């Protein structure tokens, strides 16, 4: 049986762009608007699952209360931990260590930011969480409120992209996408 998994990226955050990773900054007013606008006339969902980081969790709580839906927090759908790069912009990293940033952009699976989480480990963590969601909620429609890296990973898998193209997947703040998770773990873009 299939799980219909809608993916919603958090909105703009108070500390701005750059690699947010495991930093736990809050949404701006614009970020709240982006997320609220994304879910207008969407659904209906059977439940909400969210990253526990506040840029996702606070919106999940608000939406769950408004729609009278259960909300579950899943730590394994948190963003990639960027280690020493957390909170830094690409421009700052280009000045500080352009070579390392270039290696990461070229193939994030082959280069890990200093003290960061390897993308292979991140991938196993996220895909493990999706497999557990399928097991628990197959046949349902679930809204997963998460992060750009999580969504890029899942969309790249669904689109059959080579791993080097992971960072080419565009996912804006408040972006909403649909996936179908099959019993065998295959991901497909849905409608």
Cβ neighbors of 96 (< 8 A, separation 6 or more) are 88
Read off the pTM: 0.95
pLDDT in tens, 17-53: 788 899 999 999 999 999 999 999 999 999 999 999 9
Listed in sequence order, the DSSP H helices in the chain are 29-39, 54-67, 90-106, 119-137, 148-159
pLDDT at 189: 94
Mean pLDDT across 145-167: 96
Tell me the C-alpha distance between 112 and 120, whole Å. 10
Q: Is the dihedral of CA 49, 151, 104, 185 positive or negative?
A: positive
Q: How confident is the model at residue 191 (pLDDT cuts 50, 70, 90)?
A: low
Q: Check whether 127 has a pLDDT greater than 80.
A: yes
Q: Is the pLDDT of residue 131 over 90?
A: yes
Mean pLDDT, range 107-133, rounded to an integer: 97
Q: What percentage of the chain carries pLDDT values higher than 70? A: 99
In the chain, the domains with their CATH numbers are 3-189 (3.40.50.1240)
- For 96-118, what is the mean pLDDT? 94
Pick from 109, 83, 78, 118: nearest CA to 97? 83
What is residue 16's predicted lDDT score, i.e. its pLDDT?
74
């Amino acid at each position: 049986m299939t799980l219909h998994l809608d993916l919603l990226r958090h909105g703009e955050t108070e500390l701005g762009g750059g690699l947010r990773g495991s930093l736990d900054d809050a949404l701006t007013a614009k970020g709240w608007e982006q997320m609220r606008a994304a879910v207008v006339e969407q659904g209906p969902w059977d439940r909400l699952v969210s990253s526990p980081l506040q840029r996702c969790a606070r919106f999940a709580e608000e939406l769950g209360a408004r729609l009278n839906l259960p909300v579950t927090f899943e730590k394994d759908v948190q963003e990639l931990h960027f280690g020493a790069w957390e909170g830094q912009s690409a421009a700052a990293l280009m000045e500080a260590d352009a070579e390392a940033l270039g290696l990461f952009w070229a193939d994030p699976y082959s280069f890990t930011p200093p003290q960061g989480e390897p993308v292979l480990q991140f991938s196993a963590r996220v895909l493990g969480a999706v497999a557990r969601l399928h097991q628990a909620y197959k046949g349902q429609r679930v809204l997963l409120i998460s992060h750009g890296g999580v969504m890029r990973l899942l969309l790249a898998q669904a689109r059959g992209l080579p791993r080097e193209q992971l960072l080419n997947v565009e996912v804006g703040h408040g972006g909403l996408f649909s996936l179908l998770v099959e019993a065998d773990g295959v991901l497909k873009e849905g409608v």
